[in-house]
Amino acid sequence: MTALFGIFFLAFIVFFFMCCFNILRKNAKKLKRNGLIAIGCFVISMIAVSLSGSVTVTPKEEATAASKSAAETVATPAAEPATEPTAEEATTAEAPAKEEAAANEPTQEEWEASYREIVLNETESYITSSAKKALSKDGYESALGVIEMYSARVGTEQLDGYSRLAAAVKANDLDETKAIYKELGGEDFPELSQDAEPVDFTAAAEAPVASGEAATISKSEYDRVKDGMSYKEVANIIGGEGEALSESGSPGEEYYTIMVMYYGDDASTGANANFIFQGDKLINKAQFSLK
């Protein structure tokens, strides 16, 4: 019974790890099969433990067994010292384990199928965000990078279609992307049939940059500027627009962030003030040597 328990419990462990791998691969069919096998192995191993534990030994049997063991100990010569296995024996012993590990490794076809799934998922996200006008430039570039990377790994038979899909996304051609996505067998979702224009990333950013000479700022003007003010309110206090130093995201987005700088009245001292706006609300300010 102990041997039976060991065999089925080892099988349970093997199929349990195969189930974990199937979950990562999102392979529901293999997950169901391996899960049932793992449960069966576990149940059988538990039954073997129960049967093994239910066998009782009477005192007479224990005495007989003890006498027999003692006789065998006297009759049996001392065991020879254990010897280290040779390199050939070690290699032979490791071979089954290596073969089992190799059998559990995904095949090339399975890897390629997972790459195709990644590309289609990223394309769905790109189409959905574009239709909802929620696609930022950073999000677009991130999706494009994933699509281009994995489109080159989908296998020679699918390479042409996925290369055309990557090219359509790179051109930000929403209609062409939808058509190729359907052609490749992508799953349906609401935004796929919705008429929409792609997000225009080439439009000039509505950043607060002075049209002419930037306004200068004094210490009293700086003190009047408060957190939560819009850029327009700050510009009205200072008397004009400042210089945009950096920005993150796209104008109009909730977390669009921009830093604007104003020079002090006396430029020779290097005096200046910086203001950070997020979602057109002042969230931080700092000044140097203003008077």
CATH number, domain of 255, equals 3.30.1450.10
As a whole number, mean pLDDT of residues 16-21 equals 73
Tokens 């067994």 belong to which residue? 65
Is 96 part of a structural domain of the chain? Answer: no
In this structure, are 187 and 249 located in the same domain? no
Q: How far apart are CA 11 and CA 25, in angstroms?
A: 21
User: Binning pLDDT at 50, 70 and 90, where does residue 185 land?
Assistant: very high
Domain boundary among 55, 72, 99: 55
pLDDT at 103: 66
Q: Is the confidence at residue 168, as pLDDT, over 60? A: yes
Handedness of CA 95, 96, 99, 100 (dihedral sign): negative
pLDDT at 205: 41
Is 101 part of a structural domain of the chain? Answer: no
pLDDT at 87: 66
In this structure, are 182 and 222 located in the same domain? no
**Percent share of the chain, pLDDT over 90:** 30
In this structure, are 188 and 221 located in the same domain? no
Tokens 């994933």 belong to which residue? 146
Count of domains forming the chain: 3
Is 113 part of a structural domain of the chain? Answer: yes
Q: How do beta strands 243-248 and 257-264 pair?
A: antiparallel
In this structure, are 115 and 189 located in the same domain? yes
Is 274 part of a structural domain of the chain? Answer: yes
CB atoms within 10 A of CB 62: 10
DSSP-assigned beta bridge partners for residue 282: 277
pLDDT at 79: 53
Q: Whole-number mean pLDDT of the chain?
A: 79
As a whole number, mean pLDDT of residues 151-174 equals 91
Task: At 209, list the tokens.
Answer: 């940059």
User: Binning pLDDT at 50, 70 and 90, where does residue 91 land?
Assistant: low
User: Binning pLDDT at 50, 70 and 90, where does residue 71 land?
Assistant: very low
pLDDT at 209: 45
Is 5 part of a structural domain of the chain? Answer: yes
Is 82 part of a structural domain of the chain? Answer: no
In this structure, are 189 and 220 located in the same domain? no
Is 211 part of a structural domain of the chain? Answer: no
Q: Which conformational region is residue 180 in: left (phi greater than 0), alpha (psi within -120 to 50 degrees), or beta?
A: alpha
In this structure, are 1 and 49 located in the same domain? yes
Is 103 part of a structural domain of the chain? Answer: no
For the chain, counts of helices (H) and of strands (E)? 10, 5
The parent domain of residue 27 ranges over: 1-55
230-265, pLDDT tens digit by residue? 999 999 999 998 888 888 888 877 788 999 999 988
Distance of CA 227 to the CA centre of its chain: 36
In this structure, are 185 and 239 located in the same domain? no
* Continuous segment of H or E residues that includes residue 283: strand 281-288
Domain boundary among 17, 35, 55: 55
Q: Is the confidence at residue 36, as pLDDT, over 90? A: no
In this structure, are 186 and 235 located in the same domain? no
Nearest to 260, CA basis, from 241, 239, 281, 275: 275
Q: Which of 66-80, 231-245, 264-278 has the lowest mean pLDDT?
A: 66-80
